[in-house]
């Protein structure tokens, strides 16, 4: 197993009587891209700010590559790169000037400065944009600059808070690709409220809900969880719902959009074979049959209703 680059234990943050983050603990390993997923208000930003040393936890501890962030903040922070939800960009500086400034703030030694700035530009696809004013760049390119400032000092851990918010679909694809590439060399944590984002970029996912971790597993496990026990069925000549409900294994039938049906079944009671046979025999005109993906909202409802899975 790769080295642990970030270890958070029992992190809690209170605002007055409100507990925004409650007993969150997890680890991140070298080369991993970990997604923090949760609806707005779940506590993702508060967690990110604590992990980057920008907000003191009410209790709990954080280690970056074995260095205690609260006891030795300077040494630990040197190993972290952070892109906050609102990137701290100076619109009147050129890309090159801003990245040089960021490198200075991160205490990059003078001798390495120019090489590291060039490398960050190259890695973020900004090599042609060094002389441009940040204010004149598109939002997608500004976000590249935000990511470049987070990696310019070559940190071990890169933390990105909602990195694709406000971008158009093409920019989103490019930024996601860039983040995936960063995962090779750094460990990356990103927060998002978009399920496909996590599924397309991350190796592992942690779902937060009301300040707590309610799911922590691989992306494959999340996919399996989402596939659940539901079939999406399209029938050109559907029978009465009662007839579908009577199929062995089916526990509930639900009309879905576009004339489709959702057939829920008990674990181990997959009714696919029977359904196909009956549809042919009774001429229901079966034109679609696929495992239904639960939406993010359904995942949250399910997770928070059942026992937490961490």
- Does 186 sit near ligand ADP (CB under 6 A)? no
User: Is the Cβ of residue 143 or residue 206 nearer to ligand ADP in the bound state?
Assistant: 206
- Does 45 sit near ligand ADP (CB under 6 A)? yes
- Does 46 sit near ligand ADP (CB under 6 A)? yes
For residue 123, the 8-state DSSP code is H
Nearest in space to 275 (alpha carbons), one of 226, 234, 228: 234
Shortest distance (Å) from residue 39 CB to ligand ADP = 7
Rounded to 5°, the CA angle 145-200-225 comes to 140
User: Is the Cβ of residue 47 or residue 230 nearer to ligand ADP in the bound state?
Assistant: 47
User: Is the Cβ of residue 15 or residue 287 nearer to ligand ADP in the bound state?
Assistant: 15
Please state whether beta strands 187-192 and 18-29 pair in parallel, antiparallel, or not at all (unpaired). Answer: unpaired
Helix (H) or strand (E) holding 165: none
Candidate ranges 13-21, 26-34, 143-151, 290-298; the one touching ligand ADP (CB under 6 A): 13-21
Write the interaction track for ligand ADP spanning residues 15-44; mark x where CB under 6 A is met and - where it is not: x--x-x-----------------x-xxxxx
Nearest in space to 276 (alpha carbons), one of 266, 294, 262, 289: 289
Size of the site for ligand ADP (CB under 6 A): 11
For residue 71, the 8-state DSSP code is T
180, 201 Cβ separation under 8 angstroms:
yes
Cβ density class 247-282: b for 16+ within 10 Å, e for less:
bebbeebeeeeeebbebbbeeeebbeeebeebbeee
Question: CA 45, CA 50: separation in Å to the nearest integer?
Answer: 9
User: Is the Cβ of residue 123 or residue 161 nearer to ligand ADP in the bound state?
Assistant: 161
- Does 106 sit near ligand ADP (CB under 6 A)? no
Shortest distance (Å) from residue 195 CB to ligand ADP = 14
User: Is the Cβ of residue 188 or residue 235 nearer to ligand ADP in the bound state?
Assistant: 188
User: Is the Cβ of residue 32 or residue 162 nearer to ligand ADP in the bound state?
Assistant: 162
Beta strand spans in the chain (E): 4-15, 18-29, 33-37, 59-64, 67-68, 80-83, 157-161, 187-192, 204-209, 212-218, 230-235, 250-255, 260-265, 286-291
Shortest distance (Å) from residue 297 CB to ligand ADP = 15
Candidate ranges 14-22, 172-180, 217-225, 258-266; the one touching ligand ADP (CB under 6 A): 14-22
Binding site for ligand ADP (CB under 6 A): 15, 18, 20, 38, 40-46
């Amino acid at each position: 197993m790769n080295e642990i680059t970030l270890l958070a234990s029992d992190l809690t943050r209170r605002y007055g009587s409100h507990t925004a983050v409650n007993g969150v603990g997890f680890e991140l390993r070298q080369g991993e891209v970990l997604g923090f997923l949760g609806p707005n208000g779940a506590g993702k930003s508060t967690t990110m700010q604590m992990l980057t040393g920008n907000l003191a936890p009410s209790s709990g501890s954080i280690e970056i590559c074995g260095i205690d962030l609260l006891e030795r903040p300077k040494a630990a922070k040197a190993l972290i790169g952070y892109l906050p939800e609102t990137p701290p960009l100076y619109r009147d500086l050129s890309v090159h000037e801003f990245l040089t400034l960021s490198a200075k703030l991160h205490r990059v030694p003078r001798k390495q400065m120019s090489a590291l700035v060039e490398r960050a530009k190259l890695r973020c696809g900004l090599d042609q944009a060094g002389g441009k004013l940040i204010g004149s760049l598109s939002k997608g390119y500004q976000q590249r600059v935000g990511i470049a400032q987070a990696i310019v000092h070559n940190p071990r851990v890169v933390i990105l808070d909602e990195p694709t918010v406000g971008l158009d679909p093409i920019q989103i694809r490019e930024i996601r690709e860039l983040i995936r590439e960063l995962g090779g060399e750094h460990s990356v944590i990103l927060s998002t409220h978009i399920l496909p984002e996590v599924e397309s970029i991350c190796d592992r996912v942690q779902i937060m809900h009301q300040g707590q971790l309610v799911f922590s597993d691989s992306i494959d496990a999340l996919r399996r969880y989402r596939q659940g026990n539901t079939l999406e069925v399209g029938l050109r000549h559907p029978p009465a719902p009662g007839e579908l409900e009577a199929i062995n294994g089916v526990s509930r039938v639900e009309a879905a959009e576009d004339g489709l049906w959702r057939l829920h079944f008990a674990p181990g009671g997959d009714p696919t074979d029977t359904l196909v046979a009956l549809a042919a025999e009774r001429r229901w005109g079966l034109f679609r049959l696929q495992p239904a993906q639960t939406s993010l909202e359904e995942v949250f409802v399910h997770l928070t209703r059942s026992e937490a899975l961490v």
